[in-house]
């Protein structure tokens, strides 16, 4: 992870992330295998305690998954914990 460029290098390919995408990525990798609540993520990344239903977090998670190709067969995946939040899981490669 390159904090200055807000990028991640995967298989020698640089992936440029938006500021929020980078912050989410950094948060997940610092908390691998730990479930993070939607409230905690929204409060930490967006600096809001709003309890309104919003798809902003879901869309950012979706973009991070796609850009970083976070799938089980690649060693990591972001799992949804229904009704609570998300967890980045370290998976064993086949």
pLDDT score for 54: 74
Identify which has the larger pLDDT, 43 or 91: 43
First to last CA, the chain: 25
> Whole-model pTM above 0.85?
yes
Rounded to the nearest integer, the mean pLDDT of the chain is 89
Confidence check: pLDDT of 4 > 70: yes
Return left, alpha or beta for 10; rule: phi > 0 is left, psi -120 to 50 is alpha, else beta: beta
Q: What is the mean pLDDT of residues 43-57?
A: 80
Identify which has the larger pLDDT, 80 or 48: 80
């Amino acid at each position: 992870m390159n904090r200055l460029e807000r990028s991640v290098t995967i298989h020698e390919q640089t992936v440029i992330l938006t500021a929020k995408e980078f912050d989410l990525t950094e948060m997940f990798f610092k908390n691998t295998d730990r479930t993070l609540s939607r409230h905690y993520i929204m409060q930490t990344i967006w600096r809001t305690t709003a309890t309104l239903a919003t798809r902003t977090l879901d869309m950012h998670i979706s973009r991070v998954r796609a850009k970083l190709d976070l799938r089980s067969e690649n060693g990591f995946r972001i799992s949804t914990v229904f009704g609570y939040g998300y967890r980045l899981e370290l998976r064993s490669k086949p």
